Structure 1
Amino acid sequence: MAAPSGNDKWSAQRYNSNASFVYSSAFTSPTVNLLAPRPGEHILDLGCGSGELTLDPLLPAVLPGGSIVGLDASPDLLARAQANAASLSAAVRDAISWVHRDGHDLDGLQRNGEFDAVFSNAALHWMKRDPAKVVRGVHGLLKPGGRFIGEMGGALNMVGVRSTLHTVLAERGIDASKDDPWFFPTPEVYRTILEKEGFRVESCELVPRPTPLPTGLRGWLKTFAFAFLDALPSSADREAVIDEVCRRLEVDMKHDVGEGQEERWTVMYVRLRFKAWKQ
């Protein structure tokens, strides 16, 4: 994730409670399979969050002889990742390290040309300030012929949710375009960025993915929409906006999943999945 250092808006507790689908194998296996990590490889997990994928399946796949670096801009998520790793044996923990850093600042890692691969799941769309700089930093960290594999929000991701946030804030006199934290590119746009920064793109495509929300849209908004909610003057205003966004989206996102079962909220994710090689 890409929360600014020193101003951490992420909560590992909310993240794990409301958004476990982010690292669920049901949704991440295609991207991990595209990475195909092997024993002896050195891999950077860019935007590792609370470390679930870093620790499994990435870490076991590179042992023996390999290593994983988990990098994230959120101290709270990294603290949870380190806690999750505490139960590992000392020998296994030696193969993993954690780095607190914004994804735009990869050139300061002092690991140029050392990684066989850089992997990123559900993080690059938070690195909106300069996506090309992020890709340039990845390129510098990779060995010649190294690979960059990732999945992020793509064009039409969260269709309806994002526009409703903008609309509800506009009704309160707030221009949400100044606070919107997300970069959801088309494959054409992201392919161009990759190629301009020296990558050969093997694949770059949109993958529609309806995703059930374990705590409904309210939990999702409290976990991920903090940039919008923080533009409001009080906690009461934030709760009112959450109520209004949920009310307007209920007709599209809330579904009856069967007789005797609770209704379920589902968000329409559209992911951009890619594989590229350093030339």
Structure 2
Amino acid sequence: MNVIEQAADVLQKAKKVVFFTGAGISADSGIPTYREKLSGIWTGLDPRDLETAKAFRENPALVWGWYLWRRLRVAQAEPNAAHLAIPRMAHSQRQVSVITQNIDDLHERAGSSNVIHLHGSLAMPKCFACHRPAVVFPDQSAVPEEGARIEPPRCLRCNGRMRPAVVWYGEDLPSQSWKAAVLLVKDCDLLISVGTSGIVMPAAGLPDLALDSGASVIHVNKADVAMGEQKELMLIGAAAEVLPMLLEKISEGR
């Protein structure tokens, strides 16, 4: 039995499956990961330098323009075969949940419901001053490609600047989302970690938590990120190729 067949066998027997996804699953939809160099108007900038409250205070127009550009990229992207395979793995005898580090909505557009976003979402901004979410996404007539700097709109309640409702470096994860994720992982039979770097904490600790709770872990990544544990399997390859293959295997076994 090869490793994909072993993974399919573990998945076939699991009743509660959690998919834990990172930037790698959306890369095949054309959304760049943080390790990729920026192009166009963003050439020379490091995404990590734009992902802080300090950067927003110092240059809110630059950071807002960057996020409008990212929001446009997500709107133009389509869910790929990996996103589409996940909801198809659920059935009456198998509960499938999704926890993602991504701030796009590709899981939802692929048909997954009740997705837990650990790092927030691009869907709706919030106020930098009072932290309250926007009622609707502010109308923006400026096109991000026309210039990197776009002044953020103002909060209708306190007149503070609107910021993306995402988790920046140095900020805590949303407590409700994190608690919900931990409960799901502790209660699952199988965690499938897809396209995650295993670096950004505390989210990167979820596979360890699953193993400690008695679950099996399947990693899907272009690089070997396994920790060498007994109940661990490593599937090396692009998520958009590996997950449909896994779906096909369990479909054959029904």
Q: Counting helix residues as a fraction of each chain, which structure ranks higher? A: 1
Higher relative contact order (CA 8 A, sep 6+): 2
Q: TM-score, normalised by structure 1?
A: 0.35
Name the one with the larger strand percent: 1
TM-score scaled by structure 2?
0.37
